[in-house]
Amino acid sequence: MKLLSEKNYVTTLLFIATLYPTTLSEKDTEELLVEVGTEEEVIAEDDGNATGKASFVPDGTEDIEILFNNEDDVPEEIGECSRISPKEIFHNEIHLRLLDALDEMSHFVEAVLTRIESALEILLPHVHESPIGNLKVQDLFPEVRQFLFGTMRDVYDVVRASWRDLIRTHVSAPNDADQQVEALRIIKDAQIQGEEKLKASLTELSVTLRAIILNSIYVIQESLKLPENTEPKQAAAQISRKLPKVAPNFLGTLMMKMIEKGDDRDAYKKLLTNTLRYITGPVDKMYEQLETLVRAGPSKEEDLQNYWKSMIEESHSRLREDPIEPSKYEILFRNEEYLTELVLGLMATF
């Protein structure tokens, strides 16, 4: 008896065969950018006011940096205090938490793909025994990276653009609560759509990794030339004995875990799916409170000022309770035991 059923194996391979070149269409991105108010004009040109570029790149040659200084991305009248505004919340908290979330995701993706890619090179001599032939590692992984990192970049751009639209609205109409609550609604929608895109990209990563792991187990099993009547436990034991020779690495650890725990998703600890939870929660609350103020009837100038003062105080409170620490994800994901559990959790979740 085969350790993997023919149906399970073929279905998994069909996923990986049809997965690429799935990418975010330019049309989708353009439509969302129009919705959040990014016209041809920009508030601050990237080459003028930026201190660096936020880049979600897989080669590790660039770190994610802060795109903008805390001033001058929206021109203000002389004497205006930008600290009593959404600009203060965005630059001091939201922007940093957004970068941190995408930084963590990018380091996780690269740590996994780098290890899997190198591990497959060791298995290549056995791949000819697989019915799908050569895995074409050189084509698969660049496409995976392009899709995942492209999605992260798109999400970052759209969320940032929606916040810049709110800041622009606050500067041009500081006493118009209706315009500002609408700008906050657009931010809310942009973050929801961004989170859905990140979920979709993690789902495709999960399907890809699952296909690679199951196919690798199948390849090793086929190389053993086990009799058709071999019991699953016996087949698993023989595969486990061979794993240290052909996959003494991260991929081998994942295969061993899959053999031990099986294909039941409930056997693994699932991950949280709301990747942007540290910014969606605060924004939802900001929107609800401003919407309540608008529904109460015409607001006075001081009402809106007090609202933003309150939102800034809450932002500072969140930063005290949950400060944004310097990123150490590259070091964290060197722990392969921890990384293995995350991958198994990813496959169980998405």
- How does pLDDT run across 235-284, given as a tens digit for each residue? 999 989 988 888 889 999 999 999 988 777 788 889 999 999 999 999 99
Angstrom CA distances, 112 to 22, 124, 158, 195, 336, stand at: 20, 18, 26, 21, 9
* Dist CA 230 CA 245 (whole Å): 22
Q: Is residue 47 part of a domain?
A: yes
Is pLDDT above 50 for 21? no
Classify residue 89: in a domain, yes or no: yes
Q: Percent of the chain scored above 70 by pLDDT?
A: 72
Q: What predicted TM-score, i.e. pTM, was given to this entire model? A: 0.77
> Which residues does residue 68 pair with via DSSP β-bridges, in sequence order?
50
- Find the domain containing 116 and state its range: 6-349
CB 189 within 8 A of CB 1: no
Residue 232 located in a structural domain: yes
CB 189 within 8 A of CB 64: no
Q: Tell me whether residue 175 is in a domain.
A: yes
Q: How far apart are CA 13 and CA 138, in angstroms?
A: 18
Residue 233, in any domain of the structure: yes
| 144-169 pLDDT, tens digit each | 999 999 999 999 999 999 999 999 99
Name 56's Cβ contacts closer than 8 Å, sequence gap at least 6. Answer: 64, 102, 103, 106, 149, 152, 153, 156
State residue 77's pLDDT score: 56
The answer as to whether 1 is a domain residue is no
Residue 79 has pLDDT above 70, yes or no: no
Count: domains in the chain = 1
- Measured distance CA(332)–CA(104) in Å, rounded: 10
Is residue 51 in some structural domain?
yes
**Contact present, 86 and 163 (Cβ < 8 Å):** yes
In a domain, 28, yes or no: yes
Distance (Å, whole) CA 199 – CA 254: 22
How does residue 98 score in pLDDT terms, banded at 50, 70 and 90?
Answer: very high
**pLDDT (mean) for 43-56:** 38
Burial letters 248-279, b for 16+ CB under 10 A, else e? ebbbbbbbbbbbeeeeeeeebeebeeebbebb
